[in-house]
Amino acid sequence: MGDVWAVSDIHGHRDVLVAALTDAGLIDESEHWSGGDARLWLLGDYVDRGPDGIGVIRLARRLEQEAAEAGGAATALLGNHEILLLGMHRYGAMPVPSDPRYAFEPNWAGNGGVVTDLEGLDEEILDWLTTRPAIGEDADHLLLHSDTVEYLEWGGTVDEINAAVRAELRMPDLDTWWEMWRRLTTRMAFAGADGPGVARRVLDELGGSRIVHGHTICALIRGGGVSPDDEPLVYADGLALDIDGGIFVGGPCLLVRLDEEAEGR
Ligand SMILES: [Mn+2]
């Protein structure tokens, strides 16, 4: 079994991702997969807030192919910012029918939307983005983008949830898209006094012995400011691992080996 790695919330900082993958030996100097049978999980939020979200997507797509050819895997999950970009592309400023106070455009603009990401969407990228799995499981870890229980609204197993999200991504329905964005934008479900119980319930339902997620910068859960020296945050009585270092606010790119994490517990 190959090594299992996870990284999250690149937000357009392609160069930072390339440096981390190179250091780990997962890509070579020419940015091609060199990880052999390793399995890499990218936990979403490729776009917005940074210079080259489309470049991050193109790299993820290529590594997905190259890793598979080498007997490994690179799997890219869906983040809320992918829904935001796709929602902006599809619906722009159109009011949400179920609640016309809302629309994608002001949310996109207010959450780091980048014009070159929007303009860089082509049919291949749209097809790829709308077929992303929402969650995964590997090395006894449950892999999520967002630290939320809202995934359970889509189903009671990893496969059910991914199938339901994939079906909704094909629906030309603004209310459905807005609800996807709302669900994936919630956070902090595993923090605080109730956090361990909530994490336990999600793991009991979906499998794995630890949740690994991005979406919420570690410093927000831990308290204090973001520092380039920040490390992945284990919390919720060890049931959750946050790997969002906050790249877009000067934090580190946390590329974490999950099979070692599991052994070290
Ligand atoms: Mn996010």
Centre of ligand 1 from the C-alpha of residue 70, in Å: 30
Residue 260 has pLDDT above 90, yes or no: no
Centre of ligand 1 from the C-alpha of residue 108, in Å: 13
Residue 41's pLDDT is: 98
Question: What is the set of domains in the chain, with CATH numbers?
Answer: 4-263 (3.60.21.10)
Distance between CA atoms of residues 256 and 18, nearest Å? 14
Centre of ligand 1 from the C-alpha of residue 89, in Å: 18
CA dihedral for 108, 114, 119, 123, sign (positive or negative): negative
Mean per-residue pLDDT over the chain, rounded: 96
The secondary structure element, H or E, covering residue 57 is helix 53-69
Centre of ligand 1 from the C-alpha of residue 186, in Å: 9
Judged by average pLDDT, the poorest of 4-8, 28-32, 227-231, 256-260 is 256-260
Instruction: Encode pLDDT of 43-102 as tens digits.
Output: 999 999 999 999 999 999 999 999 999 999 999 999 999 999 999 999 999 999 999 999
Residue 235 has pLDDT above 80, yes or no: yes
Distance between CA atoms of residues 50 and 46, nearest Å? 9
Centre of ligand 1 from the C-alpha of residue 68, in Å: 26
Centre of ligand 1 from the C-alpha of residue 127, in Å: 20
Residue 206's pLDDT is: 98
Residue 231 has pLDDT above 60, yes or no: yes
Sheet strands side by side (includes 73-76): 73-76, 39-42, 4-7, 256-257
